[in-house]
Amino acid sequence: MPRSQLAAQARSLQPRTVALRRAIHRRPEVGLALPCTRDAVLHALADLPLQVHLGVGVGSVVAVLDGARPGPTVLLRGDMDALPMQEATDLPFASEIDGRMHACGHDTHVAMLASAARLLAKRRNELSGRVLFMFQPGEEGFHGARYMIDEGLLDVAGPAGRPHSAFALHISATLPAGEVHVRPGPLMAAADTVRVTVHGRGGHASAPSDALDPVPAAAAMVGALQTAMTREVGAHDPAVLTIAHISAGTTNNVIPETAFMEGTVRTLSEDVRLHVREIVRRVCGHTALAHGCSADVVIDPGYPVTVNDADAAARVETVASDVLGSRRVARMPSPIMGAEDFSYVLQQVPGALAFLGGCPAGENPSTAFPNHSNRVVFDEAAMAAGVAVYAGLAMDALA
């Protein structure tokens, strides 16, 4: 059966895909322990010929489909966790849990991957090798992929042996529905957290000369850091630093003893990542000294750069074009500065992450509410395209 018919098969599974997505959307869970979501996944896979493995320290699900003949292993990933935010979409299946929302579309990823497993199970006689379905918790800052790797996901002695290739799709509300966008090389940035505490000496607001005010020092750091980013980091290998939180003091007439600020720094290469860490420490330390203060600078490493293997990215383009039509596939001109923990998998296995458009019907992608908005809505019809592409990638790898 030609790959072009995968789209029709995926559409036939759409009622099941939508039902699973909506069930997960109603009961969002945050972090590494996702018992309700995991139960929903297990129920969706229960009647399929899969070997299922549960995470020990995290709420992960790994399912393995054996093809009819021996061959390599291809990994397909779907992340499962939600965000700690209040939904404001008025959808009939909106979150029923206050302060939690599937605002990044991970509920669609789970549903697409489960339906891809069902589609591939029906066509297992065409597969030479194994498909490893990676249902991952804790993508939103909890390093879930790294924990799964630590539990042996990618080991030779792991659930499906060492994967030969790895693929993931990520839905985006600001791309046209049903389109696949991908690029070789760096796709998403590394993201590190910066926390700075400025130490001064408190006093009365009427007599700042008798105190050592940390607030002007912190304010000066913000501007100095932005200047350093534009003067010490090349424009063709950029860094984006955002100070997103500043706090100091308790009232209007007291100079505080300390000021605190935090933010993120995002980079697209390891060299610039290390260079920016040195810049942040130097600028903050010296700016504090210039104001007679001192500064404690803590940089917490986040996700690495997400780097797509060139051949794997080309396979995504080819397969998606065969399944969906070439007009629905685009080469991204540049990376984006968001971060992804599928980067941990791609550090060890050649593969690619691609974006699946999910802009709601009738809306302009350029003005649609983006991922991580409490008003974001995804076009559920796009999920059929994702199911077909997931299946097509596995069949291409195991032909």
Q: Are 274 and 196 in contact (CB under 8 A)?
A: no
CB under 8 Å to 157, separation ≥6 — which residues? none
Residue identified by tokens 């300390």 is 258
Active-site residue flag, 303: yes
Nearest-angstrom CA–CA distance, 304 and 85 = 25
Angle, CA 318 vertex, CA 312 and CA 319 arms, to 5°: 90
Q: Two tokens at 276?
A: 């920016």
AA identity, residue 390: Y
**Angstrom distance (rounded) from CA 105 to CA 378:** 7
Amino acid at 216: P
Give the burial string for 144-177 (b: 16+ CB within 10 Å, else e): bbbbbbebebbeeebbbbebbbbbbbbbbbbbbb
The answer to whether the CB of 68 falls within 8 A of the CB of 125 is: yes
> E-strand spans in 121-184?
128-136, 165-172, 180-182
- Residue 278: active-site member: no
Helix, strand or coil, per DSSP, at residue 6? helix
Q: Give Cβ neighbours of residue 303 (< 8 Å, ≥ 6 apart).
A: 143, 190, 191, 339, 340, 341, 343, 344
Catalytic annotation, pick one of 147, 340, 380, 390: 380
Which residues make Cβ contacts (< 8 Å) with residue 255, sequence separation at least 6?
200, 202, 203, 204, 205, 208, 211, 213, 215, 249
Q: How many CB atoms lie within 10 A of CB 365?
A: 17
Catalytic residue among 303, 317, 340, 344: 303
Is 392 in contact with 8 (CB distance < 8 Å)? no
Annotated catalytic residues are 303, 380
